[in-house]
Every structure is written in C-alpha cells, then in structure tokens.
Amino acid sequence: MDINKVGVIGAGQMGNGIAHVMALAGYDVVLNDVNQDALEAALGKIDKNMERQVSRDLISVDDKAGALARITPSLEVAQVGETDLVIESATENEDIKNKIIEGLVPHLQPHTIVTSNTSSISITRLAARTDRPEKFMGFHFMNPVPLMKLVELIRGIATDEETYQTCLGVVGKLNKTAASAEDYPAFIVNRILIPMINEACYALYEGVGNVASIDNAMKLGANHPMGPLQLGDFIGLDTCLAIMHVLHDGLADTKYRPCPLLTKYVEAGWLGRKAGRGFYDYRGETPVPTR
C-alpha cells in the first residue's frame, strides 16, 4: 500500500517532531490538535528546528520551504480521516487515547492505517476501539524525533502483515531504523530504560547518592550521554511514572513498583524541564540539582 498523506493527532513535543520528519520525507501532513494555540506553537517549533538543520547544512532552504508547505494544521479530526496513515500522538493516558481513536473511526477511509505513538500502552487494547484492528499498530518514535534514529513497530494480536510492511516502508523513507517489538507492557526501549530511571530515583530516595553524584556516576562510569535523573526530567517525570504504572499493573511484578519519590515529584507538579523543575531546577541560567 502506498502512503502519500499522513495525519498526526497531537501537536505537542512528539507530534510536532513526527510532523517535521514526515514532511521532510515528502509526505503531506495534517497536524491535528484541539487547541489552536498548540497548533501555532507547533508550527513555530517546526520552523525553528528546521532552520537549525539548515544552519548545519543538514537540509537546504528549499527543503525547509517545501516541508513547511506540506504541513496543514487542523482542528477538525475529520481532516485526519482523509489521510492514508494516522499516527495518534496524544498524552500517555489510555482513556484520552481511547476517546481520540473512537472519535476518529467514523471519519476514516476504508484503507487508512491507524497507529499510536504510545510508549507503553497495549496496542491490542487500543486496536479493539477501532473497526480495523488488523490495520492498527504501534508506531513509537523516540524523543527528539528529528534526531533519534529508532522507531519501535509494535504489532497487536490482530495486526496483519500488509500493515506491518507498509509501516516498515515508511520508517525506511524517514531514514530511520525499525525495531520490531511484541505487544507487552512498555515494549523494548521503555521496558529497559524507565526502570533504570526508577532505580536511580530509589538510589536518591534511599540516600545512596545525591542527584549530581548519581547522574555523574552513570555519565562517567557507564558512558551514558545523560544521567538517568536528567533524562527523566527530559522525558517528563509524569510520563516516567505513567510507564512504571503500566509495567507494574501489566506484569504484576514488584520490581516495577514506582519509587515513592518519583510519585511525590509528580504530585508536586515538578515534572522536569517542561515544568521548570524536576530533579533539577531549570529556572535559572544553568540547571541546579533539587536534592
């Protein structure tokens, strides 16, 4: 199946990145959100990020202009239904995703493939909310989307081979690499990554080390480009906590119990970089550890 037009639902951090790479790859993109301000902010972010690519000679001025012209912002989910491939990229909340998917279904063309950028939620459960579980799968990008080369492709129990092969072809056209994952909680990347961040939270909670010592230990001792607490702030501590709950609930193993300190930070609204505070305070010129 040929994909020419892509719909992206959700204009946040992940959604605008997905629209960015899809448009640069030559796809016409409908970028949908319920909030006009969010759409305008997303278009501004895409413009800024593409300009950064131009300044680094990664793309040309003409590439940027052509890609921006291919993105159509929309408040109407019906416009998304006119595309060949839909990528739902709303917040990591199953109830919200279900409502979006159920509202989208009546507007879909018969051939349209529906996917979710979920980082942890069951693809099989989400697919069951549609009229086409065989044409539904997980299409999980890494953050930041324009820079990260991996996409996890996750088949639900009903996903057919044509849908998988079509999505695999799209990943190739984006010049990214696909990792095929089975539909188990948090898939591959977050099944390994988020418990590491949670364990770093426990090390902080139990007084094994402070924020700086834990992050420096992993950066200098394990050659990680970013410490686990800094990475948690970058991802969003609310997202990290949500994924830990998915792992704990889905696998029923106490090793996935969310750290109480992670829960406390989320309750305080200290969600990381996007909130100005997390394990680091970002309100000054340089981030300062909060513990």
The verdict on whether 152 is a catalytic residue reads yes
> Which position among 119, 120, 122, 198 bears the catalytic label?
119
The verdict on whether 206 is a catalytic residue reads no
d(CA 270, CA 281): 9
3-state SS assignment for residue 218: helix
DSSP H or E stretch at residue 179: strand 177-182
> Which position among 89, 117, 122, 190 bears the catalytic label?
190
**36 φ, ψ (degrees, to nearest 5):** -60, -40
3-state SS assignment for residue 166: helix
**251 φ, ψ (degrees, to nearest 5):** -110, -10
> Which position among 92, 116, 140, 198 bears the catalytic label?
140
Q: b or e along 66-77 (b: 16 or more beta carbons within 10 Å of the residue's beta carbon)?
A: ebeebbebbeeb
**Under 8 Å between Cβ of 8 and 89:** yes
The verdict on whether 140 is a catalytic residue reads yes
DSSP 8-state secondary structure symbol assigned to residue 135: G
Q: Which of 44, 45, 51 has its CA nearest to residue 65?
A: 51
What residues are annotated to the active site? 119, 140, 152, 190
